[in-house]
Amino acid sequence: MNEALIASTQGDTLITTVMAAIRQRIASRSLTPGARLPSVRALAASMSVSKSTVVEAYERLAAEGVIRSRPGSGFYVAAPVAPLSLADIGPRLDREVDPLWISRQSLDAGDTMLKPGCGWLPASWMPHEALRRGLRTLSRHGDATLVDYGTPLGLRALRELLARRMGEHNVAVAPDQIMLTESGTQAIDMICRYLLDSGDTVLVDDPCYFNFHALLRAHRAKVVSAPYRPDGPDIERLAVILEEHRPRLYLTNSGIHNPTGASLSPVTAHRLLKLAEQYDLIIVEDDIFADFEIMPAPRLAAFDGLERVITIGSFSKTLSASVRCGYIAAKPEWVEGLVDLKIATSFGGSHFAEALVLAVLTDGGYRKHLEGLRTRLARSMAETVARLEESGIVPWLTPQAGMFLWCRLPEGIDAGKVARQALAEGIVLAPGNAFSLSQTANGFMRFNVAQSGDSRIYRLLEAALSG
């Protein structure tokens, strides 16, 4: 090797070293996007290299798009090119037990797949006759229902009906404290956007509905969890977590808890609200399973009077998931700001969907449909419990109502592994850790009793459990 080549190779090594140092500072975020890089002179001095080495390193990084030069004012860290990836936020999970992945599998599954892991009833259980009657009624409505934007709060008659329904649960609420949304999920999303600041912490149950995890990732919130017990959250643990993490929001279900099927007891509700007041915690009470209840559980909103509790709900589980309509009930000061946010981010609501939901809810057949659903679910619950127990799978508790059974698998069985095996055979299961922030539920699985009638499910489970 001649001397010039040796010198050039050494120069190259130094340039590479400078480049690596800058890349490392960007990766560790000691230099953030848009930040100005050290001047050529300063970096040369601090790294004991020549200025021309730094210039060459900066130019190569600029050519790679890592940094950008702004003539006359130096070099800057380029904007990140990677958009938000929900899969990369939060603890890294097996793709097969990732909450989003289960949702996508369930939503994408054709009619040939079995879905004991999904969170909805079979289409044939839903009130299609009432929906068909509703459609025919709406086809005779005035033009406005069919073509105009909805009002900011949403259809008044539907809000009045919701206020009456909440009144039956002892929640006193005026129709103008209710804002209609496009779904229950969108309702929670909007509350998070409204109330969370960057860096805020949110408390969830462990286990909880897996899409809460996905939603909170989208908000880049810090998430903490408290164990859920058969009568509500573990109050002693909750007190410790509130003291330590000061979460701003707590997302929970009181009626029928997802995935456990548990119901909040009055004493736990009372203790929870006292803690919430002490620690200035806002509670989002997701009431999406209300219509399945036979013996209504107490509502946090009823004790609290919608002071620090916000109730959300939708009609996806008992009326239609295809016609999207949800709601938020909150204190008047918050409704104002939520309406602004709704207009900014989705302009109007689904005027048509609101009118159709109202038509079905006021259809004489809807109450009968609910009674039929509850009876049918109770029967399926008993059958599913019996069939699962034959395979050694035992419910954590027997829910009073609803579609979910939260079950413990036999000792040593890995729910994620069983779910992967099942998927290969066309069965979507819901392994416990998808619901668990602490990742301590790998011995559990959630079953939807309305989707668990097929013998192939039990054959698969028996095969998987036996080895």
**Which residue is it, tokens 């099927």?**
261
Interaction between residue 138 and a copy of itself (CB under 8 A): yes
Shortest distance, CB of residue 323 to a copy of itself, whole angstroms? Answer: 5
Q: Is 339 in the site for a copy of itself (CB under 8 A)?
A: yes
Residues 285-324 close enough to bind a copy of itself by CB under 8 A: 316, 319-324
Q: Which of 45, 144, 172, 240 binds a copy of itself (CB under 8 A)?
A: 144
CA dihedral 256, 260, 262, 268 (to 10 degrees): -110
Residue 180's H or E segment, with its range, is strand 178-181
In the window 105-134, what residues touch a copy of itself (CB under 8 A)?
107-108, 120, 123-124, 126-128, 131-132
Question: What residues between 48 and 77 interact with a copy of itself by CB under 8 A?
Answer: 65, 68, 70, 76
Q: What residues between 75 and 104 interact with a copy of itself by CB under 8 A?
A: 76, 78-81, 83-87, 100, 103-104
d(CA 65, CA 81): 10
Contact 409, 398 (CB under 8 A): no
Looking at this protein, which amino acid is placed at residue 209?
A: Y
CA separation, residue 235 to residues 94, 114, 275, 305 (Å): 31, 38, 9, 21
For a copy of itself, which residue of 147, 295, 386, 424 counts as binding (CB under 8 A)? 147
CB of 262 to a copy of itself, least distance (A): 23
Strands ordered across the beta sheet of 394-395 = 394-395, 404-408, 444-448, 430-431
CB of 317 to a copy of itself, least distance (A): 11
Q: How far is the CB of 5 from a copy of itself (least distance, A)?
A: 36
Tokens of 244: 């330590």
* 268 vs 316, beta carbon nearer a copy of itself: 316
In the complex, what is the shortest distance from the CB of residue 362 to a copy of itself, in angstroms, rounded to a whole number? 17
Cross-strand partners of 407: 395, 445
- Stretch binding a copy of itself (CB under 8 A), from 47-55, 192-200, 419-427, 448-456: 192-200
d(CA 203, CA 228) in angstroms, rounded, equals 12
Report 428-457 residues binding a copy of itself (CB under 8 A).
none
Q: How far is the CB of 447 from a copy of itself (least distance, A)?
A: 19
Name which of residues 195 to 254 contact a copy of itself (CB under 8 A).
Answer: 195, 197-200, 211, 214-215, 217-218, 243, 246, 248
Spatial distance between the Cα atoms of 95 and 154, rounded to a whole number of angstroms: 39
Contacting a copy of itself (CB under 8 A), which of 1, 5, 27, 344? 344
Among residues 348, 392, 443, 453, the one that binds a copy of itself under rule CB under 8 A: 348
Least Å distance, CB 425 to a copy of itself, is: 21
CA distances from 429 to 92, 321, 392, 436, 463 (A): 20, 20, 17, 15, 15
Pairing of strands 232-233, 222-229: antiparallel
Using the Cα atoms of residue 307, residue 350, residue 126 and residue 136 in order, give the sign of their dihedral. positive
Query: Cβ closer to a copy of itself: 2 or 73?
Result: 73
Chain positions 318 to 337 lying near a copy of itself, rule: CB under 8 A, are: 319-324, 334, 337
In this chain, which of 12, 176, 280, 462 binds a copy of itself, going by CB under 8 A? 280
Min separation Cβ 466 and a copy of itself, Å: 34
CB neighbours (10 Å) of residue 222?
Answer: 15
Q: In angstroms, rounded to a whole number, what is the distance separating the alpha carbons of residues 90 and 214?
A: 9
Return the range that interacts with a copy of itself (CB under 8 A); candidates 39-47, 159-167, 178-186, 370-378.
178-186
Check if the beta carbon of residue 351 is closer than 8 Å to that of residue 143.
no
Minimum distance, C-beta of residue 76 to a copy of itself, in the bound complex (Å): 8
CB of 257 to a copy of itself, least distance (A): 18
Using alpha carbons, list the distances in angstroms from residue 88 to 85, 163, 220, 388.
Answer: 5, 40, 11, 35
Pick the closer one to a copy of itself by CB: 168 or 197. Answer: 197
Compute the least distance from the CB of residue 146 to a copy of itself, in Å: 5
What residues between 375 and 404 interact with a copy of itself by CB under 8 A?
A: none
As beta bridge partners, residue 67 has 77
Which C-beta is closer to a copy of itself: that of 143 or that of 168? 143
For residue 273, how many C-alpha atoms fall within 13 Å in the half-sphere facing its CB?
A: 21
Name which of 446, 397, 437, 430 is nearest 207 in CA terms. 437
DSSP state of 89: S
